[in-house]
């Protein structure tokens, strides 16, 4: 048995009654960068989340994937001479926007967490700690939130150098099995998969991007659910992907770009910005959900009355997973199919 190392980020205590939890999740967040070029929104980006904050604040727990670092200064750790490498550095003063938007926990286990080396990583953690926002990161830290007397653990996996590798499925199973003995609800976040508008479908095997292994996302997701995960949240392809219900647990294979101010393509599907709301019971069982459709138009996510994101995710779910999908109604609601459950 391999030794499993877990670093635990501070616990938040949240009150309330009842034994169901509503988790809202979004994809990539990058509020602007001052490196290598100055691309920051006016007024410290206070308006970026203006239309989504009222929704996110309704969640018991709101989650997102933070692309880049929150730091002032430092040296870039990437060779940007390679055309497919990008680095993002958001000034620390922008961190307050995340708190104001309602985020409780963020994923830092991704390919931009080390854009500015250990200096950038440490600065990001310090800012989030000061704001009371939990995180899961490349060092293996898990974010824990106590909600309605239930202990909810978030853990991030990533295809690159990381304590919890998306590519090592055997170890992922060990880690999740260990966590399931300590916490009531386990939420797995993964950063992986191909990228771009042509990457809307989930591969049937390992995925690659510019020759780099980006994970076998179906196999990984099924394995962690079998090991005890109750919700799986994917990001990395920069486009939304379909939803699958596996053993009574919801898997979101990609939540796309959510708030990416310049430096990241938001044309076409890359601008579709869902908020996925998921209600689960005290055993982690998927009860219901909703897809809020937003579109990025250069100034943060804006409500899309045509619900294009919902329509896309519904279509992709049916095409990629056939019968193993939630029930989609006509008003953005998703529900489990009868008989789809797993004992805790």
What distance in Å separates the CA atoms of residue 64 and residue 114, rounded to the nearest whole number?
18
| Bond prior to 36 in cis (omega within 30° of 0) | yes
Query: How far lies 284's CA from each of 4, 83, 160, 249, 341, in Å?
Result: 23, 42, 29, 7, 10
What sign has the CA pseudo-torsion 321, 196, 40, 117?
A: positive
**185: Cβ contacts below 8 Å, ≥ 6 apart:** 21, 150, 151, 152, 153, 230, 231, 280, 282, 284
What torsion, rounded to 10 degrees, do the Cα atoms 12, 13, 16, 20 define? 60
Q: What number is the average pLDDT over the span 197-201?
A: 98
User: What would the mean pLDDT of 191-213 be, rounded to a whole number?
Assistant: 96
Question: What is the rounded average pLDDT of the residues 282-301?
Answer: 95
Q: Are 164 and 197 in contact (CB under 8 A)?
A: no
pLDDT score at 233: 99
Domains along the chain with CATH numbers: 7-335 (3.60.21.10)
Higher pLDDT, 10 or 316: 316
Euclidean distance between CA atoms 1 and 175, whole angstroms = 11
Q: Output the pLDDT for position 337.
A: 86
Q: Rounded to 10 degrees, what is the CA torsion of 124, 196, 266, 93? A: 0
The pLDDT score that the predictor gives to residue 123 is 99
pTM score:
0.93
pLDDT in the model for residue 282: 96
């Amino acid at each position: 048995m391999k030794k499993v190392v877990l670093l635990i980020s501070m616990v938040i205590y949240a009150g309330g009654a009842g034994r169901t939890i509503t988790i809202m999740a979004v994809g990539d967040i990058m509020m602007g960068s001052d490196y290598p070029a100055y691309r920051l929104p006016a007024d410290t980006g206070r308006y970026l989340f203006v239309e989504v904050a009222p929704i996110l604040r309704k969640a018991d727990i709101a989650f997102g994937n933070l692309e880049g670092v929150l730091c002032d200064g430092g040296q870039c750790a990437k060779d940007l001479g390679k055309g497919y490498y990008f680095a993002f550095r958001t000034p620390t003063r922008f961190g307050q926007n995340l708190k104001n938007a309602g985020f409780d926990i963020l994923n830092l286990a991704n390919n931009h967490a080390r854009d500015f080396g250990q200096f950038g990583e440490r600065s990001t953690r310090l800012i989030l700690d000061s704001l009371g926002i939990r995180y899961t990161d490349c060092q293996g830290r898990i974010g824990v939130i106590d909600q309605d007397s239930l202990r909810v653990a978030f853990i991030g996996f990533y295809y690159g150098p990381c304590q919890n590798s998306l590519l090592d499925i055997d170890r992922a199973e060990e880690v999740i099995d260990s966590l399931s003995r300590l916490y009531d609800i386990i939420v797995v976040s993964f950063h992986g998969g191909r990228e771009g508008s042509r990457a809307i479908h989930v591969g049937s095997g390992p995925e690659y991007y510019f020759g780099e292994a980006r994970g076998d996302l179906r196999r990984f997701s099924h394995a962690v659910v079998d090991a005890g995960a109750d919700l799986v949240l994917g990001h990395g392809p920069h486009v939304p992907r379909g939803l699958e219900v596996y053993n009574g647990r919801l898997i979101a294979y990609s939540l796309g770009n959510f708030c990416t101010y310049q430096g990241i393509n938001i044309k076409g599907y890359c601008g579709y910005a869902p908020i996925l709301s998921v209600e689960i019971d005290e055993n982690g069982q998927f009860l219901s959900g909703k897809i809020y459709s937003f579109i990025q138009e250069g100034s943060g996510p804006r409500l899309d009355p045509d619900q294009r994101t919902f329509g896309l995710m519904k279509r992709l779910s049916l095409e990629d997973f056939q019968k193993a999908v939630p029930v989609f109604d006509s008003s953005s609601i998703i529900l489990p199919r009868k008989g789809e459950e797993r004992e805790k």
